[in-house]
């Protein structure tokens, strides 16, 4: 655990210190978010926060693979370098978009390139749990599902990046939840504590925490696509790598007395979705909404979840904090259900959801009648 804490602090510190430098580079290079009709900020804000986050993650990975505990396993070292290479590609695509505003197809091509690099370097989905057995994927299915999952997560985080501090905070919470589960799983299964999933998620959480002082409202800089796509790739690959390092059949056996024996095996795939529940929900709603209106899914609008919260009367800060709470309830609540499988956990979670739902819906503005 001490080495994981060191990785977290390195990612946070390098990101925090690097953000100031990247902000100056963004201003000189013209990578600045101008004010558009759909945006929530009112003055131009520099991009390239994602570049600082990449530096933080890269520094954390370099240190980690040279530590006596985390660097001991060849599989962890290999997967870490593979993910870092893909992260560099997708961050570069994001930087180009922040500078030159690439079209949607160009960004999609960059995302597929990064996902393809991950697969080519051997990090891919290996199995899918079914109610009565574990389904092992063949090469073609493994490649297709891995690429799709990475592209989905990448775009989902990109869509939720709409308020100061929103994406960084939500992903930090999701990453910490996933790290907690991955570390607990190694303890529960009595296997070696070092996994690629734990390394990726703790580094991603550190980078997000290090960036938040620059990004929380009022933001001094944005992560831009270089950051949102980077975070999506990191969470996706953390889930994918876990399927190659955990024996899911043992999860079913050890969980037979907990949650019916099925949920523990599903958690490695469910939890990444739970950690990204708000971004994925926002992305799905936007896709449906724009399709119904006859628009392409990448045509931006001002009806995302965070826009709806502000429209209901929440301040920017309160809207972001509410999204944080929802992210924590969904991600950590999923872990609690998987670990305990008890009705009391479900009841407590339901009560929390009702309370937060009331606070979320609460301050709806109503116009007063004339006269």
Q: Which residues are annotated as a binding site?
A: 158, 225
d(CA 47, CA 216): 14
d(CA 207, CA 52): 8
Phi-psi label, residue 31: left if phi above 0, alpha if psi -120 to 50, beta otherwise: beta
Q: Is the N-terminal amide bond of 51 cis, ω within 30° of 0?
A: no
Nearest partner of 266 among 252, 280, 278, 253, judged by Cα: 252
Both ends of the chain: CA-CA distance in Å? Answer: 65
Known binding site for Mg(2+): residues? 158, 225
Q: Write the DSSP string, 203-258.
A: HHHHHHHHHHHHHSSSPS---HHHHHHHHHHHHHHHHHHHHTTS-HHHHHHHTTTS
Nearest partner of 132 among 261, 35, 17, 30, judged by Cα: 261
Report whether 35 contacts 42 (CB < 8 A). yes
> Which structure tokens are listed for 307?
């826009």
Burial class (CB in 10 A: 0-12, 13-18, 19+), 312: middle
- Using CA atoms, how far residue 369 sits from 76, 203, 363, 364, 365, in Å, is 64, 53, 18, 16, 13
Report whether 196 contacts 21 (CB < 8 A). no
d(CA 205, CA 5): 11
Within 8 A by CB and 6+ apart from 90, the residues are 110, 111, 114, 154, 229, 230, 233
Residue with tokens 């013209």: 30
């Amino acid at each position: 655990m001490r080495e994981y804490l060191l990785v977290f602090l390195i990612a946070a510190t390098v990101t925090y210190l690097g953000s100031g430098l990247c902000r100056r580079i963004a201003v000189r290079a013209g990578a600045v978010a101008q004010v558009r009709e759909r945006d929530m900020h009112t003055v131009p804000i520099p991009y390239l926060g994602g570049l600082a986050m990449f530096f933080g993650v890269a520094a954390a990975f370099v240190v980690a693979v040279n530590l006596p505990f985390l660097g001991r396993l060849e599989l962890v070292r290999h997967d870490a370098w593979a993910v870092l290479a893909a992260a560099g590609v997708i961050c570069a695509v994001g930087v180009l978009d922040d500078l030159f505003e690439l079209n949607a197809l160009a960004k999609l091509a960059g995302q597929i390139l990064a996902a393809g690099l991950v697969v080519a370097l051997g990090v891919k989905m290996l199995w899918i749990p079914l109610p009565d057995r574990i389904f092992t994927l063949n090469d073609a299915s493994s490649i297709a599902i891995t690429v799709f999952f990475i592209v989905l997560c990448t775009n989902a985080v990109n869509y939720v990046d709409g308020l100061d501090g929103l994406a960084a905070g939500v992903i930090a919470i999701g990453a910490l939840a996933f790290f907690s589960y991955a570390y607990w799983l190694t303890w529960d299964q009595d296997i070696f504590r070092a996994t690629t999933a734990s390394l990726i998620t703790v580094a991603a959480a550190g980078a997000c925490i290090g960036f938040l002082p620059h990004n929380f409202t009022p933001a001094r800089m944005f992560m831009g696509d270089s950051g949102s796509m980077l975070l999506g790739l990191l969470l996706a690959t953390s889930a994918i790598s876990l399927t190659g390092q955990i024996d899911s059949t043992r999860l079913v056996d050890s969980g037979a007395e907990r949650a019916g024996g099925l949920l523990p095996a599903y958690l490695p795939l469910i939890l990444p979705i739970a950690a990204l529940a708000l971004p994925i929900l926002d992305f799905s709603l936007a896709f449906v909404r724009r399709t119904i209106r006859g628009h392409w899914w990448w045509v931006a609008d001002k009806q995302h979840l965070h826009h709806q919260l502000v429209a209901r009367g929440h301040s920017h800060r309160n809207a972001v904090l509410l999204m944080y709470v929802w992210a924590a309830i969904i991600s950590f609540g999923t872990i609690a259900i998987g670990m305990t499988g008890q009705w009391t956990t479900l009841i407590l979670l339901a009560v929390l959801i009702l309370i937060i739902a009331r606070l979320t819906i609460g301050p709806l503005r109503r116009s007063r009648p004339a006269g």
